[in-house]
């Protein structure tokens, strides 16, 4: 395709699409307008109906819980794809030493970095746990807390080096956490059906409003999401990090002999 045709195509697309976009943008409520009707309705209903203070969690795990289940398995599929692609080439073995960029100095880790990571790591993990368990009370939830927990494990890598990180993290546990979390979420949908309720109906006692134990089934679903996200993201980091390790044996032994 020559550049001239491309520009012509762009102009044609702009001619058709820009008026449509302009109409939609003109139809938007003004910036800083009052909360839309759906939001008002949620704010009015949720505290009494679900005893939950964080409306976002109420929507994610209860009112539109089915969507979150779909997202959960989307994440599972994405991580599985990454693992299949990256581990497939490398195999299961762990190698000890990192690749070195030729001609680049190796700077030893300073004690300040180690100390900072040893202090910040547990605190970050604690904060992640806090965000996870307070999903129905304060902003955050299983996803955000899970990613914070996964980043906390990276501070081990920063402070203790690759070997320490691999000692602390076991790939099989991560697999189990990720799959188990997704399974837990799916079971949360199926279990109420055993009692004759609808899929993912909130059958557990709802607890007290603004208390840690509020929201009933949402807490279990939230735990499932937290497990899956923590395991999934840590697995993702692990697989990417493994790519920078020097392989024990070359991929194709025949080519390296020269």
Partner 1 sequence: MTVILPLLFLLTAISGTAVVLVRDPVRQVFAIAVNGLVLAILFDALQAPDVALSELTVGAAAVPLLFLVALMAVRTQPPEEKP
**Which lies closer to partner 1 via its Cβ, residue 23 or residue 244?**
244
Tell me which residue of 62, 43, 3, 5 sits closest to 192, measured CA to CA. Answer: 62
Q: Which stretch binds partner 1 (CB under 8 A): 65-73, 94-102, 185-193, 217-225?
A: 94-102
CB neighbours (10 Å) of residue 127? 16
Closest contact distance (angstroms) between CB of 228 and partner 1 is 15
Among 10-18, 21-29, 68-76, 232-240, which window interacts with partner 1 (CB under 8 A)?
232-240
Q: For residue 212, count other CB atoms closer than 10 A to its CB.
A: 13
Using rule CB under 8 A, residue 148 touches partner 1: yes
DSSP 8-state code for residue 28:
S
| Inter-residue contact 158 to 110 (CB < 8 Å) | no
- Residue selected from 85, 99, 198, 212 as contacting partner 1 according to rule CB under 8 A: 99
Which stretch of DSSP H or E encloses residue 181?
A: helix 171-194
Least Cβ distance, residue 197 to partner 1 (angstroms): 28
By CB under 8 A, residue 215 contacts partner 1: no
Q: Output DSSP code: residue 245.
A: B
Side-chain half-sphere exposure of 80, counting CA atoms within 13 A: 12
Q: Is 76 in the site for partner 1 (CB under 8 A)?
A: no
Question: What residues line the site for partner 1 (CB under 8 A)?
Answer: 54, 56, 99-101, 131, 139-141, 143-144, 147-148, 150-151, 154, 233, 236-237, 240-241, 243-244, 258
């Amino acid at each position: 395709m020559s550049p001239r045709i491309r520009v012509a195509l762009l102009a044609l697309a702009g001619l058709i699409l820009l008026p449509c976009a302009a109409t939609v943008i003109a139809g938007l409520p003004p910036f800083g307008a009052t909360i839309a009707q759906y939001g008002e309705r949620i704010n009015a209903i949720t505290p009494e109906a679900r005893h939950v203070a964080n409306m976002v969690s109420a929507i994610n795990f209860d009112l539109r819980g089915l969507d979150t289940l779909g997202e959960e398995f989307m994440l599972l599929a994405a991580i599985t794809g990454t693992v299949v692609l990256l581990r497939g080439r490398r195999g299961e073995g762990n190698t000890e030493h990192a690749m070195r960029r030729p001609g680049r100095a190796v700077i030893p880790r300073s004690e300040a970095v180690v100390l900072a990571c040893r202090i910040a790591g547990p605190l970050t993990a604690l904060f992640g746990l806090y965000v996870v368990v307070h999903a129905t009370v304060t902003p955050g939830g299983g996803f955000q807390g899970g990613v914070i927990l996964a980043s906390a494990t990276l501070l081990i890598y920063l402070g203790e080096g690759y070997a320490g990180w691999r000692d602390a993290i076991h790939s099989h546990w991560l697999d189990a956490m990720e799959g188990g979390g997704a399974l837990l979420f799916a079971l949360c949908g199926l279990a109420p059906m055993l009692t004759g309720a609808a899929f993912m109906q909130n059958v557990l006692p709802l607890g007290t409003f603004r208390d840690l134990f509020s929201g009933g089934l949402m807490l279990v679903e939230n735990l499932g999401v937290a497990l899956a996200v923590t395991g999934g993201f840590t697995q993702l980091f692990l697989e990417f990090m493994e790519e920078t390790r020097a392989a024990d044996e070359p991929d194709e032994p025949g080519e390296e002999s020269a």
